[in-house]
Amino acid sequence: MREIAAILEAFDHSARKGLRTALATVVHLEGSSYRRPGARMLVTEEGEATGAISGGCLEGDSLRKALTAISQTQSKLVTYDTSNEEDAIVGVQLGCEGIIHVLFEPIDRNNPLNPVELLRIGLHQRGDAVLATLFSLHDLRGLQPGTCLLLQKEGERCGQVPFPELDKYLVNDMLATLQKGASAMNSYENGFSRWTAFLQYLPPPPRLVLVGAGNDAIPLMQIAGTLGWDVHVVDGRSSHARAERFTGACQVLVTRPLEALRQIPVDRRTAFVLMTHNYRYDIDMLKALLPMQIPYVGILGPRKRLDRMLEELRTQGFALNSQVLEKIHGPTGLDIGAETPEEIALSVLSEIQAVLTGSPGGMLREKQGEIHPRTGMSLITQNI
């Protein structure tokens, strides 16, 4: 999400300067690559680039392709074969052993639903969405429709499918993508043409609520902000919870736990970290969070502190079943040998990321199979 936000900022800056731009997007991948489908890079006519579509090996040639798309005002699909060691552009230098398809789209600022504006809508809404990008793998020199439709969970549509006969098939697949919560790749054929659609699932950015405004909360806010997370800070102490101390947070509240929860929207992408170092404040917040459908409640401090909390809650009649205990993480964080506040912040945010993505959080060298699962990304062709 941070990359999309940076692209939006760069696009707005270029618009103020009157510069033309193009958006490069990885739309399809065969084999391995440093970046996955959905990686993007915005290029201005002055050659400035924001974002990345590879580990650096494709950016030089992609910059030239983007400038061509800008000058010709025409979308282009370019294929990079990094599995071919004789490839003069990438090949052995990258070593990813994959075939990467990149779509270059010149951006029309006068179109309120151009690809960048559709990204903006998808980023700023607090709900799941799917973004559809249409292209042709079989006619690289032909028409490349590009990023055309955003579908939100409530069924609201932004944009338009360029081919009426494709509309219902594409929308149905986008709804299925929303339901599964994972990006997909689909192909459609009607005897005259064949189009491939990259359906990118866009969940809202994680929302992090730091319950505690001590000095150790500042690195958490800073790193989460770098990741593009939505950060809130809550504390009962006005001496600590001050906006000037937490300039990267979107909201800083001085209030009691129940009142804080009335002011902060909470959903399935919201994580709490209890770190006031005040036992009574933390346990009051934990009581309020137990009935809520949230994936993560981290409690900073030693295990015996959490055990004391849980025992007190049991004596007060709280039902601490396995479903409730599953979302409580204490001591909070992954075991990476963290000692300093910055290292602890890295540990905590890494665990939250693992929980939100359903990952075990282990070392990649011990993972069996591919780093990124390919489920849902294999091409499925429909006759329309």
Q: How far apart are CA 184 and CA 177, in angstroms?
A: 7
Cβ–Cβ < 8 Å for 167, 102: no
* 156-191 pLDDT, tens digit each: 899 999 999 999 999 999 999 999 999 999 999 987
| Candidate from 155-159, 251-255, 301-305, 368-372 with smallest mean pLDDT | 368-372
In the block, residue with structure tokens 């730091």? 210
For the chain, give the percent of residues with pLDDT over 90: 73
What pLDDT is recorded for position 193?
Answer: 82
In the block, residue with structure tokens 């054929």? 189
3-class secondary-structure state, position 230: strand
What pLDDT is recorded for position 320?
Answer: 94
Q: Considering the entire predicted model, what is its pTM?
A: 0.85
The residue ranking higher by pLDDT, 301 or 142, is: 301
Q: How far apart are CA 356 and CA 327, in angstroms?
A: 11
Cβ–Cβ < 8 Å for 42, 7: yes
Token pair of 265, please?
């929207």
Cβ–Cβ < 8 Å for 205, 5: no
3-class secondary-structure state, position 140: coil
Domains parsed from the chain with CATH numbers: 1-110 (no CATH), 111-204 (no CATH), 207-360 (3.40.50.720)
Residue 145: exposed, middle, or buried by beta-carbon count in 10 A (0-12, 13-18, 19+)?
buried
What pLDDT is recorded for position 91?
Answer: 41
CB atoms under 10 Å from CB of 370, counted, come to 8
Q: Which amino acid is at 48?
A: E
